[in-house]
Structure 1
Amino acid sequence: MFVAMGVTDPDPTWRKNAHEWFSSRLDDPNYHFAVVEVGGTVVACAVGAVRDAAPSPAVPDGRDALVNNVSTAPSFRGRGYGRMAFGSVMVWACELGIRRAELMATAVGRGMYERAGFRDTLFPAMRAKLV
């Protein structure tokens, strides 16, 4: 996933930080972690997170879902496993009454997201590193 996103030299502390982050949210109902296993090995995953933002005309209650970390192990791609994990997150969000979801798509995943109803927005994400 990170290679597809152009991240080639990540800070080595990310693994420890990620472990702590995921562990502290496993039982939080505002997060959904979907994994697909084949023969006892995790081959695909996806994460959903409820975001609490100011209400707006597009999201009157201010809640939406961020979908991220959708990934399939390279040797298992093309078999629907990523779609299963992604679908699990989308069902979870709908069951919570979330009316909008957002994600950042790689070229590989773009078609799957478009088939699920995702579209480009007029205001794409911008980022800045803060020191």
Structure 2
Amino acid sequence: MITVRRAGPSDAAELVRLRAVMIRDAFDGEEPPPGEWREIAERQFRARLADSAGLLAAFVVDRPDDPQRLAACAVGSVDTRIASPHSLSGESGYIFNVATDPAYRRRGFSRACMEDLIEWFAKRGVARVTLHASPDGEPGYRALGFTAPRHTALQLDLWDRSAQDG
């Protein structure tokens, strides 16, 4: 049996560690750089997880051999828009940090975290949840009911534009 719990502010450092694992895996094993981003991310996690009614939630599984550290996590946030026929709350969800420590993979930990996170979104009245899947993660997300979007997703990287201007 897998025990999933909602993360709190004291889990911030471990969530950042698992975020680095996820980033490394997304970029073909290239270790994310140390530095300011980790400190900022930890502060953000601490502040946002302190608000239990807030727009961010993380669900975690503790390491069986060391409950002070995390084996897996799934983190998501709510984006508030305007009501529509498909979403009376106007809220949509985004999952952006699903990671499992390499030593604990293939045990169902991330899936269990995802199931609790999806339930959290559902209880809020969120009508649609989006995520970006790696090729390795895509089959698991599809098994949870995720499908390709109906419309083309586009993005504009403003950080890239400001780097070119500077």
Say whether the fold is shared (TM-score over 0.5): yes
Alpha-carbon distance in 1 for matches of 2:83, 2:158 = 27
Report SS of the residue matched to 1:2: helix
1:10-89 matched pairs, under 5 angstroms:
10=33, 12-28=35-51, 29=53, 30-37=55-62, 38-39=64-65, 40=67, 41-56=69-84, 58-89=86-117
How far 1:100 moved relative to its partner?
0.9
Report SS of the residue matched to 2:110: helix
Whether 1:6 and 2:27 are equivalent positions in the alignment is: yes
Report SS of the residue matched to 1:85: helix
Alpha-carbon distance in 2 for matches of 1:78, 1:60 = 37
RMSD: 1.9
TM-score by length of 1: 0.88
Alpha-carbon distance in 2 for matches of 1:15, 1:100 = 29
Alpha-carbon distance in 1 for matches of 2:156, 2:23 = 17
Report SS of the residue matched to 1:78: coil
Question: How many equivalent residue pairs?
Answer: 131
Alpha-carbon distance in 2 for matches of 1:62, 1:11 = 37
User: Taking structure 1 as reference, are residues 56 and 125 closer, same or farther at Cα in structure 2, changes over 3 Å only?
Assistant: farther
Report SS of the residue matched to 2:24: coil
Structure number, greater radius of gyration: 2
- Structure 2: gaps of 5 or more residues: 1-21
Alpha-carbon distance in 2 for matches of 1:21, 1:125 = 26
Percentage identity across aligned positions? 28
One-letter code of the match for 1:3?
A: R
After TM superposition, which residue ranges in structure 1, 4 or more long, deviate above 3 angstroms? 7-11, 54-61
How far 1:25 moved relative to its partner?
0.5
How far 1:60 moved relative to its partner?
4.7
Report SS of the residue matched to 1:4: helix
Which is helix-richer, 1 or 2? 2
